Amino acid sequence: MTSSLFQPIQLGNLTLHNRIVMPPMTRSRASQPGYNANELMATYYAQRATAGLIISEGTQISPMAKGYAWTPGIYTPEQITGWKKVTDAVHAKGGAIFAQLWHVGRVTHPDNICGQQPISSSAIKAENVKVFIDNGTDEPGFVDVVEPREMTADDIQQVIEQYRQAALNAIEAGFDGIELHAANGYLINQFIDSEANNRTDEYGGSLENRLRFLDEVVAAMVKAIGAERVGVRLAPLTTLNGTVDADPINTYTEAATLLNKHKIVYLHIAEVDWDDAPDTPNAFKQALRNAYQGVLIYAGRYNAEKAQQAIKAGLADMIGFGRPFVANPDLPNRIQNGYPLAEHVPETLFGGNEKGLIDYPVYQLED
């Protein structure tokens, strides 16, 4: 029996050969100076091109959008050229790849953004949140974030334009589409979640107002590159990087309804994935399915069996496998054949070189 994970699926104008997604994972290997994607990254993504869809690591849309050392950008000609190496390598292997567009907002440190004060929906510091900076060694130096300044109306319009331009840059770089990172406590999430937003203008207060920034960013990107090339990632129940919502079920059902109106090509839900984390309630998943009619992707603590169940139940169309893709470049083949999965080395996740990035082997059957 062919697993439901290996049925083809239409994603906009793309026909994907399976329903396995390599979700965005920060690896911090961009070339310095310039934060450019490079040959090492091209090899890494090409090794994993048997995924139905690859979503790139978070890619900052401007110098102010950067949260961590050595992460790539997509706002200069050199960065576009660097990403072209990656997309060409993935396409040469028959893969499809979207760029995740990222603005971290307050989840950064002045050392990462040319000495500037971070920006956010509000002047609220993210408590107990650390980011890593380049401290002159190959090891990331972790530091506490600082208090951001509240974005002005002009700041908001400028960032919307940066998202729009980044979407155009991604298409120029050869990406098949883009994913807006609106999850995990970063900038757009800082507007959505009630406890991170104390604005008193049209971008704060009511749920409609808190969703306005998301609405306007998505509208600008859809107009620029087409709804069939725009996906969005949300994290309804995570409290990563200090963002908390008082009523997440209602908030994110409304967000899904809003995104459905834009006819975006997919909605990507990041579930809580730490050990002993609660499962996303099935009733909530059904509400999201009712609210959003496009391709629905879930990621977080999935194995092959759980992924198949979610697709068969009609709650998901595709499933993201994050950490398993780090150490298993041939993950779809291993899942399809029931081969054992290798474990990744946590110490090599961020920064460094090819070690822990491109040196994980494909599965070999014993003679």
Q: Which residues are catalytic?
A: 186
Nearest to 112 by CA among 123, 101, 104: 104
**Residue 240, number of CB atoms within 10 A of its CB:** 18
Please give the structure tokens belonging to residue 103. Answer: 């603005």
Cα(107)–Cα(59) distance, rounded to whole angstroms?
Answer: 14
SS3 172: helix
Which residue is listed with tokens 């104008």? Answer: 13
Q: Are 214 and 254 in contact (CB under 8 A)?
A: no
Q: Are 357 and 40 in contact (CB under 8 A)?
A: yes
Cα(189)–Cα(312) distance, rounded to whole angstroms?
Answer: 30
Q: Are 160 and 85 in contact (CB under 8 A)?
A: no
Nearest to 193 by CA among 147, 269, 251: 251
Cα(264)–Cα(219) distance, rounded to whole angstroms?
Answer: 10
Cα(67)–Cα(84) distance, rounded to whole angstroms?
Answer: 23
Torsion of CA 217, 218, 223, 229, to 10 degrees: 130
**Residue 124, number of CB atoms within 10 A of its CB:** 18
Cα(254)–Cα(232) distance, rounded to whole angstroms?
Answer: 14
Q: Are strands 97-102 and 177-181 parallel, antiparallel or unpaired?
A: parallel
